[in-house]
Amino acid sequence: MDFRTAYKEWVSTKLFENGLNITFTVKQIVDGVRVDKLKLEQNFKYFRNMLNKKVFGNSSKRFGTQLMMLVVREVSPLNRLHLHTIIEHPPHLSLERFVYLIKECWNKTLFGYEEIHIEKPSTQLREEGWFHYIMKKRSKIDFSDSIDLENSTCLNR
């Protein structure tokens, strides 16, 4: 078994129920500053903290309550960084409310671009298909570095 297959299998054991498939587009340059891996990671961390605060209130800071997330970086054929994610949909919020919060928080970040694709998978097959899609080798500069370990909270459990 090669490294990529083993890594993908390990990550698949960390997946969670009730996730939304989300693609976040990214502004590539803001005020003359070009986004890179580190800036994108920091930008998503800001988004993650803001979303957790909106979803869980003060318990997000006091008790570390947070949404499960898997965050994967990719580069498009036009060399544009973007993120493919799976984010836990909390049961106490309607889908419409949660989607609104995601868009609101993403648009408040420095590099957040308003085009966001959000899908609630309708079948197990669609969940698995999305996972295999975001874990593909194509469109990744370095597969071993494509998963945002800082923000992929599902990997810490």
Q: The domain 3-10+19-156 is classified under which CATH number: 3.20.20.70, 3.40.630.30, 3.30.43.10, 3.30.70.1910?
A: 3.30.70.1910
User: For position 140, what pLDDT does the model report?
Assistant: 66
Task: Give the other-Cβ count within 10 Å of 40's Cβ.
Answer: 21
C-alpha closest to that of 7 among 133, 143, 139: 143
pLDDT tens-digit readout, 129-157: 999 999 987 766 677 778 999 999 999 87
Sequence ranges of the domains in the chain: 3-10+19-156
DSSP E strand stretches across the chain: 19-26, 29-30, 33-34, 69-75, 81-88, 112-119
Mean pLDDT of 59-69: 94
**Phi and psi at residue 137, in whole multiples of 5°?**
-80, -35
pLDDT at 108 over 90: yes
pLDDT tens-digit readout, 15-38: 999 999 999 999 999 999 999 999
Q: What is the pTM of this model?
A: 0.93
Q: Which residues contact 150 (CB under 8 A, 6 or more apart)?
A: 41, 45
Residue that is written with structure tokens 């049961």 in the block: 91
